[in-house]
């Protein structure tokens, strides 16, 4: 990634197609100190707002935390929550296996240790219009993916997380978030210190069934 240009825009923006972006947009957890330019941030959020939602109600709301007084306090609060969450996950106290040293573990440790310096943190919220239910995510997570893809197209990177839930009550009080808004995700955003893609994923033949559960499609070429 080249040095940033005016207003934080990366000087080199890849001209990538939609399918390539879908296949190469990875979670970016290491950022440079460069800011995300105002115009770019507006573009990213504009495209996030084009996402589909149930009955086209467009209930998603984006609370942006950059360098204001509230933002600094919220980042400090979130940083501790993220470190606590990763410590539990790394030690296997969440019911999962303990994480051994790896590139992923190193990336996560760097992410939580430097959370307060992340250029942009976005709390993705959902304005509820009915009682909480199991399908709420259908009206907010497509907007999260649009946001990450738009960031990728403009030379930025991000990571969607959920460790904000550990301090949700404090965030609501600090940032004036009403009870009618669900805190659905926390997305970090910045100029990547590394790069996107290619991604390592399971072969499509292992995740697609044809006609009934467990039947591998004959129309998918072997990996």
User: Does 9 have pLDDT greater than 70?
Assistant: no
Residue 165 tokens, joined: 């839930």
- Residue 103: per-residue pLDDT: 86
6-198 adopts what CATH topology?
A: NADH Oxidase (3.40.109)
pLDDT higher than threshold 90 for residue 140: yes
Is 3 a residue whose pLDDT tops 60?
no
pLDDT digits (tens, 9 = 90+) for 21-67: 999 999 999 999 999 999 999 999 999 999 999 888 899 999 999 99
> What integer pLDDT is reported at residue 170 of this predicted model?
97
The average pLDDT across 147-170 equals 96
State the pLDDT confidence band at 131, using cuts at 50, 70 and 90. Answer: confident
pTM of the model as a whole: 0.88
Name the residue with tokens 């304005």.
127
Beginning with the edge strand found earlier in the chain, give each strand of the sheet holding 181-190 in spatial order: 60-65, 120-127, 181-190, 157-161
Q: Give the separation between CA 109 and CA 24, rounded to whole angstroms.
A: 23
Which residues have C-beta within 8 Å of that of residue 128, sequence separation ≥ 6? 59, 136, 180, 181, 182
pLDDT at 173: 97
Percent of the chain clearing pLDDT 90 (strictly above) = 72
Confidence of residue 10 (pLDDT cuts 50, 70, 90): low
Both tokens of residue 71?
């933002």
Res 14 pLDDT > 90: no
- Output the pLDDT for position 94: 63
Asked if the model's pLDDT at residue 200 lies above 90, the reply is no
Q: Mean pLDDT, the chain, as a whole number?
A: 89
Supply the pLDDT for residue 11.
55
Break the chain into its structural domains and give their ranges: 6-198
Q: Tokens at residue 56, please?
A: 């086209």
Pick 96 or 6 by higher pLDDT. 96
- CB count within 10 Å of CB 174 equals 13
Question: Would you call 117 exposed, middle or buried from its count of C-beta atoms within 10 A (0-12, 13-18, 19+)?
Answer: exposed
């Amino acid at each position: 990634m080249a040095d940033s240009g005016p207003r934080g825009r990366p000087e080199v923006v890849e001209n990538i197609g939609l399918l390539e972006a879908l296949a190469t947009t990875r979670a970016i957890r290491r950022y440079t100190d460069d800011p995300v330019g105002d115009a770019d941030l507006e573009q990213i959020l504009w495209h996030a707002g084009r996402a589909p939602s149930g009955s086209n109600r467009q209930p998603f709301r984006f609370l942006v935390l950059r360098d204001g007084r509230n933002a600094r306090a919220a980042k400090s609060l979130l940083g501790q929550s993220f470190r606590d969450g990763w410590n539990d996950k790394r030690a296997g106290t969440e019911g999962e296996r303990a994480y051994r040293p790896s590139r992923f573990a190193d990336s996560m440790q760097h992410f939580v240790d430097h959370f307060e310096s992340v250029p942009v943190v976005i709390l993705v919220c959902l304005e509820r219009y009915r009682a909480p239910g199991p399908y709420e995510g259908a009206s907010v997570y497509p907007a999260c993916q649009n946001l990450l893809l738009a960031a990728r197209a403009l030379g930025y990177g991000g990571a969607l997380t959920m460790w904000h839930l550990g301090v949700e009550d404090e965030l609501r009080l600090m940032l004036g978030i009403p009870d009618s808004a669900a805190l659905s995700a926390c997305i970090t955003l910045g100029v990547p210190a590394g790069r996107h893609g290619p991604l390592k994923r399971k072969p499509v033949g292992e995740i697609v069934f044809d006609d009934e559960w467990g039947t591998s499609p004959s129309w998918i070429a072997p990996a």
